[in-house]
Structure 1
Amino acid sequence: MSVRNFFKKIVSWELWNFNVLYAPISPVWLWYCLRSRSFWFFTPSNPTIAFGGFEGEGKKEMYEQLPSEVIPLTIYIRNGIPFAAVLAQLEQSGLRYPFVVKPDVGMKGILFRVIENEQQLKKYHDRMPVEYIAQEKIDYPVEVSVFYYRYPWEKKGVVSGFIHKELLQVKGDGKRTLQELIEQHPRARYRLQEMEHRHQHRYNRVLPDQEIFYLSYAGNHNRGARFTNLHPEIDESLLQVFDGLSHYNESFFYGRYDIKTRSIEDLKAGKNFIVLEFNGAGAEPNHIYDCNMPLGTAYKVILQHWKALYTISRYNYQQGIPYWSFRKGKAFLRASRKHFKILEQFD
């Protein structure tokens, strides 16, 4: 990283390491632990998701609690089974190339891949250390995130954040190589080690004029996706859609929906959209990013969401949904961290 990029990363808080960014407000989180007399005060927030959806939950348990018409066609594949059995699952399911693969328990876009053919699938399957999912590739043109929470005693919730996502990508000009495009990209240039790991074998390729090359298919902030704040689009129609999802199983009270849709208008009308992910208690209000928000304002937004998370969790606890014990939560978190460390080694 150049000296210029290094100092730009220091002054731009959106590029800071997660732990550095959250350190100044971490005493507030600790205060909620003390008030609840539980390190895992958030676990009743989404009672039917492991650990409240804070970390380590599987996508299967999330998909099973949403209406079938809003989730992608998905199959679950155990690692280590014969590849012939994988092909049989594909044939039986009707899933066709290209499709998406990713760990059932994953995060931050780790081991997220688009599979174009049988050879790529075999390579992925042979090196996958954990159970994973194969899922239809949703080609709706608009990808968004919606942060929603609802207090359990109320019928209506709150859409607190709404953003559009643009995957990390470069556009060719018929002159520059992929490496040059990456090094001059406003976000990719801060991720040169990752880019080299993923795309070095293509670095000398000159992209044709106007050709789009996706550097990552994961629409995450930590994978370089660009966010555009859509807060003015939040209205009663949008809220009704997510109130409906929250009431579907009466158990999703707090979190962020990652969605692909044909258009914002269709999403508001409750049609032509697919839920890719639901991130529970551990979800960031990612509408703080990429909108020139001052750091102090970003902290205010985060703290408002933490207060809602505490309030929801405390109410559900008082209704008989227990906090996880310290031992149970510690063991789950340790197993989750071990799991992700393994994933990172194979990414």
Structure 2
Amino acid sequence: MATGPHCERSDVAGATSLAGPVDGGVGGLMRWQRLAVSRWVRLTQWEYWPIWAIYLPVFFYGLWLAVWHRGATVFSAANPGMPAAGGLVGYSKSAILEGLAGAGDAVATWALIAPGAFPERNAAVRRFMAEHQLGYPVVLKPDLGERGSGVVIAKNAAEVEVVLRTEPTALIAQAYVPGVEWGVFYVRRPGAAKGEIFAITDKRMVHVVGDGRSSLERLILNDARAVGMARFFRQKFAARLGEVPAAGERVMLSELGTHCRGAMFLDGAALETPELVQAVEAVSRQFEGFYFGRYDLRAESTEAMQAGRFKVIELNGVSSEATAMYDPKHSVWFGWRTLCRQWRIAFEIGAANRRAGARVWSVRELWTLLQEQRKA
């Protein structure tokens, strides 16, 4: 089933401190205490739980769906136009972006950078940027990556070089879209006149604010939200933990709208507008054989997004999560209901497409696909 929290998830909401500002760096006792708090947060807040704990009830519900629909893998026909069993796992991002070619400017400009020697790949990135009159930053990400793995927002040519030299596989170069990011989960029943938005995730980037005295490590450990991702952030900023940000200086801890890379997910259902629904529908209709999945969208503001003025940066298939469920206000029961409902819809859409002649992947084929992804 859908991928869960394989890596650390974050609830960072801002710079609310659990303790008053303390001069200097972090002592051994203070560090131990705050890391103990981090472990407690991860134990008691369900969005940090391991995948088996979140998906165990959903697995048993999936067994019932398999019996009801007379096929354990019916969901693999939910998106006949997508590779890898409808976008289950290990799929090519470029193949999916190609499926959205008819959406034109609604999709952030991109190009596939093939494997090869550094000079040729570097020249390909430069041609892409020149052709579309792009400056830095530029986004580089693995064509087969998942959950934000390997995604880099390269701010200059030197950072591009590091990525190209360390990542030998096929990459996607994409225009960086500043502003806010949302996850919009779309579903459409085969034969229906139009689809609907199943869930909206309001993605928030994480930051702490300097006080002119505390080190970056202390700011992270004292932050009521960032402490839940303390291990991840301490590794990410290992070379800067001793720095003391100036008073009022905002230090961004995350820059990608990925939960396991530090972003906070809020339920944005109340932000849905007819204009947003219409724009998402128009984009979705350009992808033949797409019925079920989550868009990652960016826009200059929430108001622009609500007006339907956005850029698609990615589209995920049948393994998508309605990530709005990870809003801290929601209980694990809400999460389980959401997951069960979305998988019921995936099975129903797959069954309808099966009746229309769409291919259903066999259990053996899916097992092979999953094993190949595990080795990658």
Query: TM-score scaled by structure 2?
Result: 0.84
Matches within 5 A, 1:46-85: 46-50=79-83, 51-66=85-100, 67-79=103-115, 81-85=116-120
Equivalent residue in structure 2 for 1:282, among 292, 304, 319: 319
Partner-residue secondary structure (3-state), 2:191:
coil
Equivalent residue in structure 2 for 1:117, among 156, 164, 189: 156
CA RMSD of aligned residues (A): 1.9
Matches within 5 A, 1:151-300: 151-271=189-309, 273-300=310-337
Q: Does 1:304 align with 2:341?
A: yes
CA distance in 2, matches of 1:97, 1:170: 25
Q: Which amino acid aligns with 1:309?
A: A
Could you tell me whether the CA contact under 8 Å between 2:113 and 2:125 is conserved in 1?
Answer: no
CA distance in 1, matches of 2:155, 2:181: 21
CA distance in 2, matches of 1:2, 1:97: 36
Partner-residue secondary structure (3-state), 2:76:
coil
Partner-residue secondary structure (3-state), 2:77:
coil
Q: Does 1:11 align with 2:44?
A: yes
Partner-residue secondary structure (3-state), 1:249:
coil
CA distance in 1, matches of 2:307, 2:36: 48
Partner-residue secondary structure (3-state), 2:182:
strand
Equivalent residue in structure 1 for 2:172, among 133, 139, 155: 133
- Mark the CA change 1:144 to 1:329 in structure 2 (over 3 Å): closer, same or farther: same
Equivalent residue in structure 2 for 1:87, among 122, 143, 149: 122
Q: Answer with 285-294 or 98-107: which moved more.
A: 285-294
Show CA shifts across 1:147-193 (max 9, x none).
11111121122212112111232222222211111112233322333
Report the CA distance between 1:260 and its aligned residue: 0.5
CA distance in 2, matches of 1:155, 1:277: 24
CA distance in 1, matches of 2:274, 2:155: 40
CA distance in 1, matches of 2:342, 2:215: 43
Could you tell me whether the CA contact under 8 Å between 1:38 and 1:326 is conserved in 2?
Answer: no
Higher RCO (CA-CA < 8 Å; seq separation 6+): 2
Q: Answer with 33-42 or 234-243: which moved more.
A: 33-42
Q: Which amino acid aligns with 1:63?
A: L
Aligned length: 336
Show CA shifts across 1:76-105 (max 9, x none).
2233x2222123212322243221111111
Query: TM-score scaled by structure 1?
Result: 0.90
- Mark the CA change 1:186 to 1:78 in structure 2 (over 3 Å): closer, same or farther: farther
Partner-residue secondary structure (3-state), 2:74:
coil
Q: Which amino acid aligns with 1:14?
A: E
Uncovered stretches (5+) of structure 1, i.e. residues with no partner: 340-347
Partner-residue secondary structure (3-state), 1:248:
coil
Q: Does 1:323 align with 2:360?
A: yes
Could you tell me whether the CA contact under 8 Å between 2:216 and 2:242 is conserved in 1?
Answer: yes
CA distance in 2, matches of 1:193, 1:265: 35
CA distance in 2, matches of 1:222, 1:130: 22
Q: Which amino acid aligns with 1:41?
A: V
Report the CA distance between 1:31 and its aligned residue: 2.4
Uncovered stretches (5+) of structure 2, i.e. residues with no partner: 1-33
CA distance in 2, matches of 1:307, 1:242: 22
Report the CA distance between 1:265 and its aligned residue: 3.1
